[in-house]
Structure 1
Amino acid sequence: MATNKVDIVRERTATLDVDPQKGFSELCPKELPVTGALEIVPQLLANHTFAAIKLVSRDMHPTGAAWEASTPAEMLSPVDLPEVDVKWNPHCVMGTEGVELLPGLPPVREYDFQINKGLDPDAHPYGAFYHDQADTLSTGGLEFLQVKGIDTVLVGGLALDFCVKKSVEQLLAAGLRVVLNLAATRAVFPEQFEQVANDLQAQGVELIDDTRALSLVDHV
């Protein structure tokens, strides 16, 4: 599945850390803890060493959002709203610990660009690059990459089967080369990990097992 060796040019490469937040880890067990979330930090940091700039996205939700499940049993039940598909446990609520980045990552202001999404109580976007499901309301991330002359994005974060997947698909649609570090991501539903990775590979994503597969070169 993964590629043994991937050449990248640092000056044209950015990293994207998708929602690497405490609300998706066992540090906030009542939110949306993803098994193994804390384990991705070393590989996210390793990703940074291969790129000229680094981006981070964060879920930044209000209280009482339309997608909030009142009980865990309600999670994933359908919601009939244009910008909300299903219910989720309350997570990454503004002003709470869940919004914070995982321990060991740089402070959010040390990233070159930060994307805060999900502020609208009637919307629950997954991808980092648009505020809406139709991918029309930009968060500014793609434009930032374009201005910086980036053509390759090295991706990790949480979670593979939702926000990482959608963010990667948005990058591909924008014509960017995407390298997904499998050691730097985990899935909400671990049994879906391999299938989601295979689906993304079929769309053109280059998969690596970890950063040992990366080589810095002058040109590709």
Structure 2
Amino acid sequence: MARALLIVDVQNDFTEGGALGVTGGTAVAEGVTAYLRGNTRRYDLVLASRDWHDPEGSNGGHFADGLPDYIDTWPRHCVAGTPGADYHPAIDTALVDVHVRKGQGVPAYSLFEGTTDDGSSAGAVLSAHGVTEVDVVGIATDHCVRASALDAIEHGLHVRVLTDLVAGVAPDPSTTALAEIVRQGGELMESAAVGDR
């Protein structure tokens, strides 16, 4: 039995000043690194995802042709190889064991839809390391954090979302997303309480 930390999409385009920046994104980036530095022995694996969209085309309709609806279509963001797709500079990537890229030509929200540089799926990597429990942090609570946590539950993993280390696009959908995760069997807790459980 092993535990992993899943860091979801803490990228420049999803933090303040980015193409789809959310309020609190920079604080999440800083908080995740501080938390991980204080808890490196708690995790057997640290996996981080990034949106990594193709520069050409709509990425399967993910990029809006005209006005985005912010549900299924979005402004251009996290285009492969651009600064917006980079991890936020507050993320200490030396603490990350496995990097996952998702949304390469297609819409993708969950970390489990991505692949590593060698083409492995996130699920396969976690399984190969014997991971049975995951803590989830990152951006955005109401979109990619939600999708990643629910997919982790579908993969049979015990899931905890660290609520002080996530940031959402909007308060009401974020609250709804967290409630859905709990209904599906996940837990919510603050990072300061992790040492007690």
Q: TM-score range by the shorter chain?
A: 0.7 to 0.9
Q: Report what 1:76 is aligned to.
A: 69
- Map of 2:110 onto structure 1: 127
1:215 match: secondary structure: helix
Amino acid of the structure 1 residue aligned with 2:63: E
Aligned partner letter, 1:55: L
Q: Which runs of 5+ in 1 are unaligned?
A: 1-10, 78-84, 132-137
Aligned to 1:38: 26
Q: 2-side partners of 1:140 and 1:119: how far apart? A: 13
Structure ranking higher in helix proportion = 2
CA drift at 1:68? 1.8
- Percent sequence identity is 27
Where does residue 48 of structure 2 map in the other structure?
56
Structure with more relative contact order (C-alpha pairs < 8 Å, separation 6 or more):
1
1:157 aligns to what?
138
1:80 is aligned to: none
In structure 2, the gaps of 5 or more residues are none
Q: d(CA) in 2 for partners of 1:76 and 1:153?
A: 32
Q: CA offsets, 1:22-59, max 9 Å, x none?
A: 0101232xx11111111112432214613121000000
d(CA) in 2 for partners of 1:104 and 1:42? 5
Is 2:190 the partner of 1:205? no
For each residue in 1:52-109, what CA deviation from the matched residue of structure 2 results, as whole angstroms up to 9, or x when unmatched?
A: 21000000011232332255xx1127xxxxxxx72101000112111111122123x6
Quote the offset at 1:147 in angstroms: 1.2
TM-score by length of 2: 0.86
Number of aligned residues? 186
C-alpha separation between the residues in 1 aligned to 2:125 and 2:107? Answer: 23
Name the Cα RMSD after superposition.
Answer: 2.1
